[in-house]
Structure 1
Amino acid sequence: MIMVEHLTKRYGPHVAVDDVSFHCEPGTVTGFLGPNGAGKSTTMRMICGLTPPTSGNAAVTGRRYRELPNPGREIGVLLDASAQHAGRTGREALALAARTMGVDRGRVGAVLDQVGLNATAAKRRVGAYSLGMRQRLGLALALLGDPRVLILDEPANGLDPEGIFWMRGLLRDFADRGGTVLLSSHLLREVEAVADRVVVIGGGRVVAAGGKDELLAGAGTLVRGRDPHALRLTLDRVGLTATAGTDGGFLVRAEPGAVGQVAADAGLVLTELRPAGNGGLEQLFLTLTAGASTKEAVK
């Protein structure tokens, strides 16, 4: 299990992560989503002990990462596929890691096969690897210690469609065998296909968290009108919480019938009215994080 409790990270006056809390259960894949600069990578680095938090705590399998005597045997981590020695071959990188963790060297060949790196690729120096090959090697390193937990930041970056499909199956199988996966990715449709739970972060804060199906089913109503300003004022006046989307629409925490009736009573013309879950995780993400990326960029 991964437990994150009130994690906060400040860099001078800038708050990169602000009171973030969530948990990841065994047997599940948790999608950790947010726009660039939202605080995803900083949060994952704090979980893995690479960045000290300003306040709050993170525990994996009941202990902080730095308290684990041999963390690679319990937690597989892939945060940066390029953070590998370019002069070593893929097999050498894995053999050295196996020796460091006290893992039987026979695991090297097993994980190379598992991630789809053949004998030719294993003998090639990492500096000559494509990004997709580095991602596969990074995942092999994460799996090498036969951990119970995987923490992966953009693991599908650089993979072709076949590779993305393969990774989805690998992560689903890992979780179905009782493992815990925390997965950060911009490939929202792939996250939707594999994740059981979703945590959405924007501007350093968690804006939504829960079961994927629960979030999509309870997402509310997407509504768009010819006069967005008048629609927003009307929704505010009757006490319906509305979050502005990126395309002039609103996500309203109410049933479509109730939203439509409010608009009709006010004489407003609607151009769209439907349950938010119909747009899938991508639409929910865009609505919940509307403007967050821009706000981060200008801080």
Structure 2
Amino acid sequence: MIIVEQLSKRYGAHVSVDNVSFRAEPGSVTGFLGPNGAGKSTTMRMMTGLTPASAGHSTILGVPYAELPNPGRHVGVLLDASAQHNGRTGREVLRLDAMTMGLPRGRVDEMLETVGLSGAEGDRRVGNYSLGMRQRLGIAHALLGDPQVLILDEPANGLDPAGIHWMRGLLRTFAERGGTVLLSSHLLHEIELIADHLVLIGRGKIVADGTKAELLSTVGTLVRSPDRNALTRCLDTAGITYQATDDGAYVVDATSEQVAGIATRDRVVVTELRNADGAGLEDMFLQLTADDAREQVSA
């Protein structure tokens, strides 16, 4: 289990992470989402002791990461796939890791096989690896110690569709065996397919935290009318925010009862009115992180 409590990071007057709290439970994949610069990577670096926190704390398996004996045997971490020695082969990188953790050499070949870098690819120098191959090597390193917890920052970056599909199955199996996965990614569709729990961060603060089913069922109400102009005027007059869908409907920030009431009052014909539970993760993400987007445009 991962527990983050009131974690904050300040750089002078700038607050990068502001009082962040959440949990990642065993047996589940927790998706950690947010726009660029929202504080995801900084939070994960604080959790793993790479960046000192200004306030708050986090525990992994009941203790701070720095207090774990031989931490690689308990927590697999991938925060930067490029942080590998370019002059060593993939096999050499993992052998050194295995020696550090006190693991048998056979574990190296097992992990190279698991991530698809066996044979000649394992003996190639890391400096000649593609980004996708570096990601696979980083995942092999994270899995090397047979950990109970995985903390992965953008692990699908650089992987081709087949590689993303492979990684999805790998992480799903890890969680189903009782492991804890915290996964940061900008690939919202992939997170939607694999995650059980979602934590969204915006401008350094948690803006949503819950199961995927809970959060995707609260993204708003979908409403459709044959007279879109009349519906638009109706929503504008009521001061209700909304977003247009690709097929001509609106997802509005109000309950279906509220929308039905204002449509009746303004005599607007409505042909569809329901919870927007099919809007998907992308719509929810855009709604909840709208402040970040506006700030980036105005900057």
Q: Deviations over 1:182-219 (max 9, x none)?
A: 00111111111111001111111111111101211233
Equivalent residue number for residue 219 of structure 1:
219
The amino acid that maps onto 2:103 is: V
Correspondence 1:252 to 2:253: yes
- Deviation string 1:34-93 (CA, Å, 9 cap, x unpaired) is 111111111111111111111111110011111112111110000010000000000000
In the alignment, which residue of structure 2 is the partner of 1:289?
289
Offset, 1:252? 1.7
Gap regions ≥5 residues in structure 1: 237-241
Q: How does 1:73-152 map to 2 (within 5 A)?
A: 73-152=73-152
Question: What residue identity is the alignment partner of 1:33?
Answer: L
Relative to 1, partners in 2 of residues 1:217 and 1:96: Cα closer, same or farther, differing over 3 Å? same
- Letter of the 1:42 counterpart: T
User: Structure 2 regions of 5+ residues with no counterpart?
Assistant: none
Cα displacement (A) at 1:234: 1.3
Alpha carbons of structure 1 residues 251 and 285: separation in structure 2 relative to 1, 3 Å? farther
Shift of residue 14, structure 1, vs aligned partner? 1.2
1:56 is matched with which residue?
56
Quote how far apart the aligned CAs of 1:170 are.
Answer: 0.2
Q: 2 CA distance for matches of 1:274 and 1:186?
A: 28
TM-score, normalization by structure 2:
0.89
Q: Which residue of 1 aligns with 2:238?
A: 234
Task: Report the AA paired with residue 253 of structure 2.
Answer: V
Q: 1:251 touches 1:287 (CA, 8 Å); kept in 2?
A: no
> 2:178 & 2:58 partners in 1: Cα distance?
21
Q: Describe the SS at the equivalent of 1:46.
A: helix
State how far apart, in whole Å, the 2-side matches of 1:49 and 1:229 are. Answer: 53
CA 1:298/1:70 → structure 2, altered by over 3 Å: closer, same or farther? farther
* 1:26 alignment partner in structure 2: 26
- Give the residue type in structure 1 aligned to 2:55: S
Residue 290 of structure 1: how far off its partner (Å): 1.7
Offset at residue 293 of structure 1 (A): 3.7
Q: Is the 8 A contact 2:156 2:164 kept in 1?
A: yes
The change in CA–CA distance for 1:261 and 1:246 in structure 2 (over 3 A counts) is: closer
Q: Deviations over 1:222-274 (max 9, x none)?
A: 468648687355146xxxxx5x65989664242x2431322442466889855
Count of residues in correspondence between the two structures: 292
In 1, distance between residues paired with 2:109 and 2:20?
Answer: 39
Report what 1:4 is aligned to: 4
Helix, strand or coil: the match of 1:44? helix
Within the alignment, does 1:175 sit opposite 2:175 as a pair?
yes
- Supply the distance in 1 between the matched residues of 2:244 and 2:65 (Cα, whole angstroms): 38
Q: Alignment identity in percent? A: 60
Quick check: 1:44 aligned with 2:48? no
Structure 2 partner of 1:68? 68
Q: TM-score, normalised by structure 1?
A: 0.89
Question: Matches of 1:293 and 1:139 in 2, distance apart?
Answer: 31
- Indicate if the aligned counterparts of 2:220 and 2:276 stay in contact, CA closer than 8 A: yes
* Residue 164 (structure 1) aligns with: 164
| Alpha-carbon distance in structure 1 between the residues aligned to 2:243 and 2:290 | 5
- Of residues 152-161 and 224-233 in structure 1, the stretch that sits farther from structure 2 once superposed is 224-233
The change in CA–CA distance for 1:149 and 1:297 in structure 2 (over 3 A counts) is farther
Deviation at 1:275, TM superposition (A): 2.5
Relative to structure 1, the CA distance from residue 24 to residue 251 in structure 2 (aligned partners, 3 Å threshold; closer, same or farther) is farther
User: Which is further off, 259-268 or 148-157?
Assistant: 259-268
What is the distance in 2 between the residues matched to 1:288 and 1:65?
30
Distance in 2 between residues matched to 1:263 and 1:19, nearest whole Å: 41
SS at match of 1:91: helix
> What letter corresponds to residue 189 of structure 1 in structure 2?
H
Contact in 1 for aligned 2:251/2:276 (Cα 8 Å): no
SS at match of 1:38: coil
Structure 2 vs 1, CA of residues 287 and 245 (structure 1 numbering), >3 Å: closer, same or farther?
A: farther
CA distance in 2, matches of 1:46, 1:296: 25
